[in-house]
Structure formats: C-alpha cells, structure tokens
Amino acid sequence: MSRRPVIAGNWKMHNLQQEAMDLTNGIMQELRSEDKAALPEVVIAPTFTALYAANKALTDCGCGKVKLAAQNCYFETKGAFTGECSVEMLKDAGCEYIIIGHSERREYFGETDEMVNKKAKAILANGLIPIICCGESLEQREAGVTDYHIASQITKALRELSAEDVTKSIIAYEPIWAIGTGKTCDSIEANRVIAMIRNVVKGLYDANTSDAIRILYGGSVKPSTIKEQMAQSDIDGALVGGASLTADSFAQIVKGAM
C-alpha cells in the first residue's frame, strides 16, 4: 500500500508571534517551486500563542502546502481546566493535527497512556488527526524492553478506537535518548521498531489497518539523515524537532522525503 509521507515540525517552546510568522513564510518560500502534489504532507506545530500568527501566514499564502498542528490538547470540551486548550479551540485556531503523548509531555507533565487515549478520541471526534508519540528511554533500551514498552504504549493509546479512526491517525516513534541529543537511532533499527509497531496495529486490528497507518521517526532528524530514513520499508516520514526551527533545514528535510 502506498502511504503519503508526512514531515511534521515540532517547534516546542520557541518563537514569538512575529518569529512564527516569519518562519512560516520562510518555509513556504523555500517550498514555493515544488509541486504541491509531489510534496509530502507538511505540518508545523507552533506553541499555542503563535498559532494565530502561523495560521494567518498560511491563510494569506493560500498555497495549501503546509498544514497547522498543535503540540498538545485537553480531552474535555470545556470547563474549569485552567491553562488547558480543548480540541475544539485548537480546531477553531486552524489546527488540523495535534501532537499527543510526546516524551516531554510524559516526563515533565505526567501525561499517561490513558490520557493519550482520551486525547486521541477527542481529536478524532472533532475531525482532526492525532500524531501519537511513543518511545523508550535509554534505560529501557539497555534493559531490552524497548519492544514490550512501546507495544504497551500503542495498545493503550489505541484502546476502543475503530479501525477507521486508526487509519486516519499518525504514530511517531521517538526514541527518547535520541531527542535533542544529536544522537540518531540507526535507520535500520528505527525501521525495525516501526515495523514492530505496525505489527502491533495488525494484531489489534487487521493487515489493512496496519498497512494504512503512517508511522514517523522522530529523534534528531536532520537534512543529512532523512533520505536514508525514508529509504526504509516502514518509515513514512519524520517528526522533526530542532531542525524545524530554521526554514532552510526544515525545507531540506521536506525535499529529502520526496
């Protein structure tokens, strides 16, 4: 089955509104000569306060080559949840995708597999696409429990989701030890883990569902690594961190995935 690649840039806690608008415009300028149909799905995820500015830049351009994502959400529709943003609010801000379960959310803010599952359900119910993150720590890798840990994360994150909803979703494998460290998981090993994730989805659903879902690699992705990663059988794109903060490097990654 042919799966359209996805390149998503997670800006994390960077960029004020003008900086976000400038970076968004810079990315679109870098991609201006590329055929929209030939591009992967290109997604940027600014921080909450910069969503309006980035969306304005995308709307003003009107080229449709770049889509907007949020870095997190809350699963309740509304209420006394100070500091949170609902999926409906993020959809209203122009988001089409939402990243959930990122290792930093899990480590620093106590996000659990159960919360990820609730968020995935809320995102899909609102017609948006969840980018569901999973991954192992260095300690878990060295203990030989990588596959078990990630299989458990995926099983819990997809609990009670229909096969149709799963095919609309995106999974991102991010080895925690390779995020922001400059270390990159070997492409062959990354592909092995992603193929394992696909097999977990097959066991939970069926072959059609596992063949359809896009699974990305995330962990110090750079222009110099993307072609080798995309040459693997099961890697469908990348969740990019630091390299998404400059238009040139992010555009090079996008072009490398074509």
Contact assessment for residue 9 and residue 250, using Cβ atoms and an 8 Å cutoff: yes
Phi, then psi, of 98 in degrees rounded to 5: -140, 130
Kindly give, in sequence order, each residue whose CB lies less than 8 Å from that of residue 28, ignoring residues fewer than 6 positions away: 57, 58, 61, 63, 65, 66
Could you give the C-alpha distances from 64 to 68, 96, 109, 175, in angstroms and in order?
Answer: 10, 12, 34, 31
State which H helix or E strand residue 241 sits in.
Answer: none
Q: Which amino acid is at 117?
A: N
Identify the bridge partners of residue 7 per DSSP, sorted by sequence position. Answer: 42, 238
Active site residue 174: yes
Active-site residue among 41, 111, 136, 174? 174
| Amino acid letter, 179 | I
Task: Say which of 30, 102, 104, 111 is annotated catalytic.
Answer: 102
| Gap between the Cα atoms of 242 and 14, Å rounded | 10
- 102 counts as catalytic: yes
d(CA 135, CA 191): 13
Which residues are the active-site residues?
Answer: 102, 174
